[in-house]
Structure 1
């Protein structure tokens, strides 16, 4: 099976005091989705994530590093932001491959620098959605599930209150603890 690397981003913005998830309407699939796409030659997954968000939403974002192991400050290499999840998704033929293939998707979480500020015209229809709207939108179930869990932790991320145990617990139990 042919595998292609992709990157996608759960973009959150504090819009008039309320945390919202940014979604694009996919023209071919007819669903509300998070921004993302194929990693192009010469790009890292991080580069692709930031490019796709800018192209599809017209916005700039800051990727948020997930809870994970720290690297010593004297580590001599550049570090890339880790994805929150890496998933494999079988997909039908698309513009990158004429056959069924698998997307190895690096899924990131990001905060919009200025949610209402466009730096360019978005390539796709875009909307902000609150948590309560997700169930009523035509979305993939896995995106809806992860987005709902992320809504429980995004206030911590936005405040810089990054308690790894609280975040990981909230993601695992949906904020029920």
Structure 2
């Protein structure tokens, strides 16, 4: 089975009323709302693909927040890369990259929104926790992940700013 690396990003923004929202984009092929993301190109890491996809699809700047990971030893001589929160394999139907059934090895990242830089390529909607729970056209796997992240976003944001 063909396996392709992909990156997905749950981009959160903090509102003036202290609540949080997560960005979702409308995906016509799936007829539903999903987080931004896409294939990792040959010349980039999954983290770089995550940043590129958010700029392309949402028109937004953001800061990736490293997922839970074991710290590298002191004095480690190589450059660390932002760790994803999850890495999952999921079946993928033929798409613009591969004309047959294949598997996406999806690197799932969390990010904090840092403003818009240009108009988005797609329809974008910001969901609060209740809208996410009530939405009928949100991909169920995305809903489950976002629900988990909403429960932790306060501590995630605090860690990112420390």
Shorter-normalised TM-score: what interval?
over 0.9
Q: 1:161 to 1:78 in 2, by over 3 A?
A: closer
**Which segment drifts farther, 69-78 or 103-112?**
69-78
The answer for the alignment partner of 2:153 in structure 1 is: 154
What is the RMSD computed on CA atoms of the aligned residues? 1.5
Contact 2:65 2:160 in 1 (8 A): no
The answer for the alignment partner of 2:3 in structure 1 is: 3
Structure with higher strand content: 2
Offset at residue 161 of structure 1 (A) = 7.7
Distance 1:155 1:149 in 2: 12
Alignment length, in residue pairs? 159
Q: 1:161 to 1:99 in 2, by over 3 A?
A: closer
The answer for the alignment partner of 1:169 in structure 2 is: none
Distance 1:128 1:51 in 2: 19
Contact 2:6 2:106 in 1 (8 A): yes
The answer for the alignment partner of 1:142 in structure 2 is: 141
Normalising by the residue count of structure 2, what TM-score does the alignment of the two structures yield?
0.93
SS in 2 for 1:160: helix
Distance 1:77 1:121 in 2: 36
Normalising by the residue count of structure 1, what TM-score does the alignment of the two structures yield?
0.85
The answer for the alignment partner of 1:107 in structure 2 is: 108
Is there any run of 5+ residues in structure 2 with no aligned partner, and where? none
Is there any run of 5+ residues in structure 1 with no aligned partner, and where? 163-177
Offset at residue 67 of structure 1 (A) = 2.1
Distance 1:3 1:72 in 2: 31
The answer for the alignment partner of 2:97 in structure 1 is: 96
